[in-house]
Every structure is written in C-alpha cells, then in structure tokens.
Amino acid sequence: MRKANLGSLGPVGRLTLGGGGIGQVWGETSRDEALATLTMAVDGGVDVIDCAPIYKNCEAFVGEAFGGRPPQHLKFTTKHYLATPEPGTGAQRLEASLEASLAAMRLPRVDVFFLHSNLHLDDYVYARSDARKAEFSTSWSAYVNEVIPAMEALKAQGRIGAWGVTGIGAPSAVLAALDQTPRPDVVQVIANLMDSPGALRRYAEPPHPRAIAASAQANGVGVMGIRAVQAGALTLAVDRELSPNSPDRTDYDRAQPYRALCAGWGEDPAAVAHRYALGMAGFDTIVLGVKNRAELRQCLDAEVAGPLDPAQVAAIDALGLANA
C-alpha cells in the first residue's frame, strides 16, 4: 500500500480502517464479520485503526482481535466527545475516557487521542440547535484553557503519542485551532467529492474542507480524510433507514447525476468516490467506513488502482455537486 506522512506520526498507509463500520454503526454486520474485516485490513496493508467509544463495539473488537498484543507497526486512535465541560473538569473527563478506551482495546497507550466534539469560537451562533451547543460543541475558551493543557499533559506522560481534533465543527474555529500554539498533531477533515459534511453540519458558513486540509498541511499537521462516500450518499444505495429530511438523504438524491456518470463508465460509485478522495490534495490517509470484507476489498482495490485520471476528476467536478 502507498504511504504518506501523517504529520509527526510519520509514514502511514493511504487507507485507515475506521471503527464505525466494524463497530456496527454503519449498517448491520456480525461480530465474526467485523473481526474478519479487521484482520483483512491489517493483512492488506492498513496500519492505522481509528476507534472511538461512540463506535459501539469497535474498541471491544480491537481488544478481542489482538488480545493486547497487536503487531508493533499498527497505530491506534481513540476519541472523546467532550462538548463544553464545566470549568476545571475537562482534563479529568478526557483522562477518564482515555482510560476506558485503553481498557477496552487492551492497550497501554494510543498513538492519537482526538477531541471528537465540534469546535466553536466563543461568540459563535450555530444555524441549528444553538441553544444546545454546549452539549455538542467545545467552546474556544474550553479548548484553549482545558483541552490543550490536558492533551499536552497526556502526551508528556506517554499515555498518548499525539493528539488531534475532529475538524467537523465551525470552520472558523477549526482554522483557528490550526493556527493556535500548541496546535494539534492531526486533524480529521471531510474528504469527498461533494465537500459535504452531511448531517454533521450545524453551521451556516461554507464547510471549506479543502481549505482546512491546506491550512493543516501548511502548519505541519497530519490530515485524515473522513466520509469519502459521504455517509452512503455517494454509493449505489444507502444501507440504513434515513429520514426524507436528512441531509445525508438530500445528498444522496443530489448525487444522482454522479451515479449516472459512474454507470456510463461502468464503475461502482463507491469505488470511484474513494479514488477521488485518494487524489485530493492535502490528505495523508483516508478513513474507511467499511463494515465487511466485501466493502473493504473494494477500497483496497481502489487504492491499488490509484487516483482517478484528470479527465474523470474534471467530469465529476463539472457536475457542480461540491458545496459552495
């Protein structure tokens, strides 16, 4: 598998196995299939496993699969959905979450620990659910005063190798975090041909994922691309029930011209979407949301095939699906 430098973590495979699929978040999969998918990913050259407590059974499956003795070349991440804590409680909550994740995965440390909640500047007003933002988003003050010191302390103690942020919050705050010192070692950024966060988006401003990736690269921050198929919107069929008003359903309907284009090429849209993401500038590794070996095989084959040729990229971009 091709490799790229993930910031300070050094070379990693261009594909990362995401925990949502094998954790049984993205559609149905059995325990045995999840474990087999995890094994197949490692055998196929994947060397980063991206976990989180909210990915249901993901961390337990990692612990079961490796029994606390994973191959030395593998890297593991986990996350905590902190939101905006009561002053003085952030470090304790982050540490407790990390300890629970380490116990579940049977690991002494993780390579990256992510702040998984949104980020917002202190005076920011969300377009949706602003009255509840303290429940889903970390304020800038809490980030600077609580998160950064706590993450740096865990790093100094050797309990984490690095720390990062999931860059799906208000873009203005994510960009500010990439300019702040100390800055995160890694950021997770939307990487799909629609530039769409789908149902993750609560703000009105444009998402600007490519600008976020470019800023991260300029600041030496590693970039993990997420949602290459935009929660199923860029596949032949969504594998779970969605409300007709769901932004992911809206994206799926809006992507019909893309599926028609792929059909004309005789290509599966999910495979094309992964190859498009692999060709996006500024992204070091693409996190896969696969839940079984068949989906994983398609992604491994896409990585072998490499990025799309320029004419195909131009044809996709000409559809005008990318968010403004």
Tell me the per-residue pLDDT of 29-74, one tens digit each, with 9 for 90 and over: 899 999 999 999 999 999 999 999 999 999 999 999 999 999 999 9
Gap between the terminal Cα atoms of the chain: 33
Question: In the chain, where are the structural domains located?
Answer: 3-317
pLDDT at 112 over 90: yes
pLDDT at 214 over 50: yes
Q: What is the predicted pLDDT for the residue at 243?
A: 81
**Among 100, 118, 123, 122, which Cα is nearest to 110's?**
100
Point out which residues pair with 50 in neighbouring strands.
18, 77
Torsion angles phi and psi, residue 63, rounded to 5: -60, -40
Q: What is the predicted pLDDT for the residue at 65?
A: 96
Q: Average of pLDDT values for 72-79?
A: 97
Q: Average of pLDDT values for 135-161?
A: 98
pLDDT at 83 over 60: yes
More confident residue, 284 or 241: 284
How many other C-beta atoms can be found within 10 angstroms of the C-beta atom of residue 230? 28
pLDDT at 278 over 50: yes
- For 3-317, CATH number? 3.20.20.100
pLDDT at 170 over 90: yes
Q: What percent of the chain has pLDDT over 90?
A: 94
pLDDT at 324 over 60: no
**Among 66, 80, 150, which Cα is nearest to 108's?**
66
Q: Average of pLDDT values for 217-243?
A: 92
How many other C-beta atoms can be found within 10 angstroms of the C-beta atom of residue 64? 17
Q: What is the predicted pLDDT for the residue at 276?
A: 98
